[in-house]
Chain A
Amino acid sequence: DAMVIQNPRYQVTQFGKPVTLSCSQTLNHNVMYWYQQKSSQAPKLLFHYYDKDFNNEADTPDNFQSRRPNTSFCFLDIRSPGLGDAAMYLCATRASTDTQYFGPGTRLTVL
């Protein structure tokens, strides 16, 4: 029973070509997070939504945007991917406690 779903699992894009990654959840959690994880590193928080309130991390590049049209869905838009944006992108959710539940991730390759 998948609770946090990410599509696609693998995404290949070209340098500079916009790409959108998708996350959906069946948990009805009010908080959703996007993390970037580069090879052999810990996940790095990009931003999160508390309900509809968007919270950007100070060091998240402007190239990264996010949308949350409803409770269940959250999107990560990379406007002009560079080679340095190749990474695993993880979506996570939480409710009222501090436990975050992660999706399987989307592996992004930039050619």
Chain B
Amino acid sequence: AQSVTQLDSHVSVSEGTPVLLRCNYSSSYSPSLFWYVQHPNKGLQLLLKYTSAATLVKGINGFEAEFKKSETSFHLTKPSAHMSDAAEYFCVVSDQGGSNYKLTFGKGTLLTVNP
């Protein structure tokens, strides 16, 4: 069985300051890990994906995430927050052990960016 824990339900930062959204996972297999972003009343947009090629993954809009197997973590960071980054962020693990690649979602972290 696999699971995802997003350690913060809400993170608030000031514009221009760094962003850190924390995610821990458990998986019986070598996981694929994703970060998706969801703006209000919109669908989920893929930010980045880890597949084992490199532990530091760069995504869109200046986001990146580092896979740390020893800590079972996949935290999302951005050096400088922008107002447009305000959204819900989901950390997701894929069930590579099954043929259907089911996704397990974290509960989400709401990012607020203050001017």
Q: Which residues of A contact B (CB under 8 A)?
A: 4, 6, 31, 40-43, 45, 48, 50, 55, 88, 90, 92, 94, 98-105, 107
What class of interface size applies to chain B in its complex with A?
Answer: 20 to 34
A residues within 8 A CB of B45?
102
Q: Which residue of A lies closest to B49 (CB)?
A: A99
Expressed in whole angstroms, the Cα–Cα distance for A101 and B34 within the complex equals 12
A residues within 8 A CB of B102?
45
Residue pair B101, A104 in contact (C-beta under 8 Å): no
Residue pair B49, A104 in contact (C-beta under 8 Å): no
With beta carbons under 8 angstroms apart, the residue of B42, B44, B100, B107 that contacts A41 is: B107
Q: How far is the CB of A45 from chain B (nearest CB, A)?
A: 7
What does the 1/0 interface line of B39-56 toward A look like (CB < 8 Å)? 001111110010000000
**For chain B residues 18-51, which have a beta carbon within 8 Å of chain A?**
32, 34, 36, 41-46, 49
Residue pair B105, A102 in contact (C-beta under 8 Å): no
Q: How far is the CB of B88 from chain A (nearest CB, A)?
A: 8
Expressed in whole angstroms, the Cα–Cα distance for A91 and B93 within the complex equals 18
Expressed in whole angstroms, the Cα–Cα distance for A31 and B94 within the complex equals 15
A residues within 8 A CB of B41?
88, 105, 107
Expressed in whole angstroms, the Cα–Cα distance for A72 and B107 within the complex equals 30
Residue pair B96, A43 in contact (C-beta under 8 Å): no
Residue pair B94, A98 in contact (C-beta under 8 Å): yes
Residue pair B94, A42 in contact (C-beta under 8 Å): no
Q: How far is the CB of A3 from chain B (nearest CB, A)?
A: 11
Residue pair B107, A42 in contact (C-beta under 8 Å): yes
**For chain B residues 79-115, which have a beta carbon within 8 Å of chain A?**
90, 94, 96, 100-103, 105-108
B residues within 8 A CB of A107?
41
Expressed in whole angstroms, the Cα–Cα distance for A65 and B106 within the complex equals 26
